[in-house]
Structure 1
Amino acid sequence: MGTETKFNCYSENSSTDGCIPKVVKSSSDLAQKLSSNGIDNGKTTQVNGSTKLVVPFVPIFIEENNVIDGAKELLTAIRPQWNLNDVDFKKFTDGITNKLVGCFYNPPKNGTSTNGKCTINSSHHSTSTTNEYEHIHNDGNDSGNLSESDIESETRNTDSKSSNNVVLVRVYGNKTDLLIDRKAETQNIILLHSYGMAPSLYATFKNGLAYDYVPGVTLDTSSVLRPEIWKLVAHHLAAMHRVVKPQSDNCDKNNHMPMLWKKTQSFFDLVPEKFTDADKHKRLEGTFLPISRLRAEFAELYKHLESLGSPLVFAHNDLLLGNVVYTESRNTVNFIDYEYADYNFQAFDIGNHFAEFAGVDEVDYSRYPKREFQLEWLRVYLQAYLKKKHVTDDEVHRLYVQVNQFSLAAHFFWTIWCLIQAEHSKLDFDYVGYAYVRYNEYLARKDKFLALNINSTS
């Protein structure tokens, strides 16, 4: 489906039932409506005796080359009480993928309004929000994750604990809707926020989101190995897998097709038989083209994985290191970027996370976690997931086999993703080269991992 079709999905839904964004005719209408109803953005309200989360839809389109002015227009709707002269705007990226703007409300203590200022910062290194390689197979998305020092410095004249003084505006990149269902993304954020696992969603607009920040720093190839951190990750993922359940009857996990199959098939459909760039096409011929050969190979792999009996859970499905936020002061981790969240195999979510230990900026698969580390990680995970202190060695081994075999599917999944990006993305990144990296790792591990036996711990 094209980008415009996805945008229409928002404008056609005018009810808040089922957590669909509410549509208003104009920014002024929205501000008046929110004020008259006493509703704060991202909060709940009573509708027909039941509690609903109201997420306003603002019918504006923010141009990628004019995101600051677009953010100002959005704020007049969702933060009408803010004086724009007292808002500092920080542009955290300046690429051709998703754009992230931080809006920091700093009202003067002396009652004298300041001049609002705009800061362009495309090389900010405190978190992954500006390092696009950390989200390279996440559409170059900007997580909205700012470090606590960033928030403190930008909100120095306000109560730093008030998240209402910070609004993050994310503008979608060109043609990212080919890969991501934006309506589903919005619903995922709303769902996970209800479980305390995602930031508040303040509003949606035609080509983006406005939401709360997540304080902390994203993981890297070193921090992900620290026991005080990886145990938090294992616990948080187990909690997500165990408790999160979409409220819609259409999302019954017993009748829901796993994301791994349906999304990979949709990706296959998007890979062209002939690439526009002749050089790219030549590099892809033989190994990846014609795509029918890879379709058959994946179908065979999937049939085997399906037989392993991995539970179907609501999964993140893209738990790369840049999507895990560690907040040291609170001793917590949070996950960000829920574009691919959906029901899927438990073992895929973990196997994909383990595969991401290699990093993306400088991929090194010698960092893939060793068996001893995995067994310890998986035991902690199972204790939380099964809610029991004593987990048997057989239970841990079973999950170990499932996870490593499903990690093969993760390599396959992102390989096909790369082929689509190679055709459509304008980002200065060698997607063809990265496709080879992921596919070669799949081939290198395939025989060893598929030889693992659930019934044998040797």
Structure 2
Amino acid sequence: MEQNASRVPHIGVTVKQTDVYSDSLKVLKVIRPQWKPEAIKFKLLTDGITNNLVACLPELYEEDDTVLIRIYGNKTDLLIDRQAENRNILLLNKYGLAPSLYATFVNGLAYQFVPGCTLNTENVRRPEIYHLVATNMAKLHKVKVDGVEHPKANIWKKARKFLDTVPDAFSKEETRKRFLELPSKSRINQELELLRRELDRFNNDVVFCHNDLLLGNIIWNESSNHVTFIDYEYAGFNYQAFDIANHFAEFAGVDEVDYSRYPSKTLQMDWLSTYLVEFTGNIPTKAELDSLYVIVNKFVLLTHLFWGIWGLIQAEHSYIDFDFIKYAKTRFDEYFSRKEHLIAT
């Protein structure tokens, strides 16, 4: 169902971490007034490492009627433009690429549940699934935004903003000590400058991107043979190759990151071929495939720097039980281990 922004209510409720279920009822009272509070079942979902997510469903209703309530993580407004996120959801819902947005509230939003399961490090490698992902990403990349004829990539500006947001001194002593094992802010800045000079040598389309296509943001419905992307918090105009590279990096997983899972050249070429057929409407030539393959794998370096910086910010502000310093170190380590080879090629 196509949505109109003016029809999405904003509810003046703050859903507190200490009172999630009763505060969620206040949201549901507005968007699902027919539901009896005593019959509603709540389930706290734990896949995310940025926000908290609660599934809400009354007894005797179908699973498809589930409402998801997302409570923003602490200080995530430092990272995410929430008004832009809402616009993105409404825009992409028109194209059938995002779930329906039911309402916003002070520190979150309520939206449509998408039946299916999130991808994992095993099933993302199955051709019948990754072909769906490649096709869906190509459809997303063809989305046009009214009034934008010559879009510019926002990744460099966002990376700088993120780096400026990293504290010069972390508030927790343990975090301060562990940060000493990581590259300094000035070193990260130097690497960003190096990468920009390197990547600016290549022509790459600027398109509307998801920018955070980790496995938990892809819902696969086996019965309908369909995938849906969710959580468009970081969506916006960016380099085509960044979005693809970012997804390939996520083959490694999040909880237990293992870059031996990074897709092989054979898998990537098959994925990219499927993508280009949808994106261009033509069967790609070998030269076109080879070119995109090279550019994508160079952009993987930028994804490591970007999410490494993000991990440092979360280490200072997030209340979620996740080792963000370890995650940042993993991303930076992978950047430096691959840098010389990828820049030389």
Shorter-normalised TM range: over 0.9
Matches of 1:281 and 1:275, distance apart in 2: 5
Which segments of 5 or more consecutive residues in structure 1 lack a partner in the other structure?
A: 1-41, 46-51, 107-156, 453-458
Instruction: Please say if 1:443 is aligned against 2:336.
Output: yes
Matches of 2:98 and 2:48, distance apart in 1: 25
Which residue of the partner structure matches residue 261 of structure 1?
Answer: 156
Q: What displacement does 1:431 show?
A: 2.0
Matches of 2:107 and 2:248, distance apart in 1: 32
Matches of 2:19 and 2:174, distance apart in 1: 34
Look up the equivalent residue of 1:359 and give its one-letter code. G
Instruction: Please say if 1:54 is aligned against 2:17.
Output: no
Look up the equivalent residue of 2:313 and give its one-letter code. I
Q: What displacement does 1:315 show?
A: 0.3
Instruction: Please say if 1:203 is aligned against 2:97.
Output: no
Task: Return closer, same or farther for 1:300/1:427 CA change in 2, 3 Å cut-off.
Answer: same
Q: TM-score, normalised by structure 2?
A: 0.93
Contact kept in structure 2, 1:43 and 1:53, CA below 8 Å: no
Question: 1:148-187 counterparts in 2 under 5 A?
Answer: 157-158=60-61, 160=62, 163=64, 165-187=65-87
Instruction: Please say if 1:413 is aligned against 2:313.
Output: no
Which residue of the partner structure matches residue 348 of structure 1?
Answer: 242
| More moved, 69-78 vs 342-351 | 69-78
Instruction: Please say if 1:246 is aligned against 2:145.
Output: yes
Task: Return closer, same or farther for 1:73/1:94 CA change in 2, 3 Å cut-off.
Answer: farther
Larger radius of gyration: 1
Which residue of the partner structure matches residue 365 of structure 1?
Answer: 259
1:100 to 43, 53, 65: 53
Instruction: Please say if 1:81 is aligned against 2:13.
Output: no
Task: Return closer, same or farther for 1:105/1:382 CA change in 2, 3 Å cut-off.
Answer: same
Look up the SS of the partner of 2:203 in the other structure: coil
Deviations 1:197-252 (A, max 9, x none): 1111000011111111011111111101111101001111011101x1223x3xx2
Q: What displacement does 1:95 show?
A: 10
Which residue of the partner structure matches residue 274 of structure 1?
Answer: 169
Q: What displacement does 1:89 show?
A: 3.0
Contact kept in structure 1, 2:3 and 2:94, CA below 8 Å: no
Contact kept in structure 1, 2:74 and 2:317, CA below 8 Å: no
Which residue of the partner structure matches residue 199 of structure 2?
Answer: 305
Task: Return closer, same or farther for 1:74/1:429 CA change in 2, 3 Å cut-off.
Answer: closer
Look up the equivalent residue of 1:308 and give its one-letter code. F
2:289 to 396, 409, 431: 396
Matches of 1:225 and 1:69, distance apart in 2: 40
Which residue of the partner structure matches residue 183 of structure 2?
Answer: 288
Q: TM-score, normalised by structure 1?
A: 0.71
1:318 to 184, 208, 212: 212
Matches of 1:327 and 1:353, distance apart in 2: 19
State the structure with bigger RCO (CA 8 A, min sep 6), 1 or 2: 2
CA RMSD of aligned residues (A): 2.1
Which residue of the partner structure matches residue 219 of structure 1?
Answer: 119
Aligned length: 345
Task: Return closer, same or farther for 1:71/1:267 CA change in 2, 3 Å cut-off.
Answer: same
Deviations 1:255-275 (A, max 9, x none): x44121111011011112222
Contact kept in structure 2, 1:104 and 1:166, CA below 8 Å: yes
Look up the equivalent residue of 1:246 and give its one-letter code. V
Matches of 1:372 and 1:93, distance apart in 2: 33
Which segments of 5 or more consecutive residues in structure 2 lack a partner in the other structure?
A: none
Matches of 1:210 and 1:287, distance apart in 2: 37
Look up the SS of the partner of 2:223 in the other structure: helix
Q: What displacement does 1:381 show?
A: 0.8
Task: Return closer, same or farther for 1:273/1:91 CA change in 2, 3 Å cut-off.
Answer: closer
Look up the SS of the partner of 1:330 in the other structure: coil
**Identity over aligned residues, as a percent?**
49
